[in-house]
Amino acid sequence: MVREMGIAVLALVTGAVLLPFLIYYCGNSALGAYEGASVGRTFGVVWGGLATGSIASWIVVLGPYSLFLLSRLLRLWWRAGTGR
């Protein structure tokens, strides 16, 4: 139970803090700089989207934990299929 909570907190912090940084820097390197873009604005858009119910913002924040749960589900499915 404690391990699961730790993983959930780590995944949520990753989605709320690390992913907006990565979104900004990857977009900036792939598309180039554009007027009005900054890391702070990216954070503001993602966190503001959480308050307004933006699906994109919720996907960014919950994405790492969702991928973790999906990997556990696929591992369970794989083990059930092999008879272990």
Domain of 74 in residue numbering reads as 2-82
- Cβ contacts of residue 74 below 8 Å, gap of 6+? none
Separation CA 18–CA 2 (nearest Å): 23
Q: How many separate domains does the chain show?
A: 1
pLDDT tens for each residue of 11-50: 999 999 999 999 999 999 999 888 888 999 999 999 999 9
Rounded-to-integer distance, Cα 20 and Cα 40, Å: 9
Q: What's the pTM?
A: 0.81
